[in-house]
Amino acid sequence: MKYALVTGASRGIGKAVALRLAKRGFCTIINYLNNHEAAEQVKREIEQEGGYAELLPFDASQPQQIEAAIDQWESAHPDEWISILVNNAGIRRDNVMFMMSNDDWHDVLDTNLNGFFYITRRLLKHMMPRRHGGRIINMASLSGIKGMAGQVNYSAAKAALIGATKALAQEVAPRNITVNAVAPGFIATDMTKELPEDELKKMIPAGRFGKAEEVAALVDFLASDEAAYITGEVININGGLYT
């Protein structure tokens, strides 16, 4: 059994990714923070389709919680290891910079950027010694490539994540581990439901918001054996909005 950990997997893109990887045959580990009911529902959907799933709650911004949760998982699976990591957990605290609080700056960087560092470092301890390879897929954003007004904190975190993806890919490639980033544009999820969709669609050449399932299909490919020679890349999925 191959195990895939998807952070922030109780809803939105993370949920779609968890469902898609389960269909490929991975035992999907569903990470979430507070919404246990939603995470349980994702697990049930996977099991109803004949797949395997586990729940692993922790706060992606808290290194002590991450260490404790993964220690617990490894104790329960002494002969197994997590070979696929999708760093999807993220939050937004949008505001213009001159009105942005210290907490809104630090909270966004702690979850979107530092969470990647804490979780990936921990799992590399078991990925690196094995020659079977691994996949690390980081959820970046159009904001990290183009920059978005009102999202200085979010744009900074996602841009840094892209730089980290490129650097880490070079470090771990000799161990058959690939590291790539996916940069969605406007995707129809809970995170974007308050945005003026009708106005924003006019900016998108494809004329619509993307679907979480379309992002999940890209992640699924990057997690596959067919993508073994793709690493250090940032793949945009934005309907032509910014390329």
Give the residue numbers annotated as catalytic, written as ranges.
154
Cα 140 from chain centre = 8
Do 229 and 192 meet the contact criterion of CB atoms below 8 Å apart? no
Of the chain, the end-to-end C-alpha distance in Å amounts to 38
Q: Give Cβ neighbours of residue 212 (< 8 Å, ≥ 6 apart).
A: 12, 13, 15, 16, 187, 188, 189
Which candidate, 39, 37, 40, 43, places its Cα nearest to that of 22?
Answer: 43
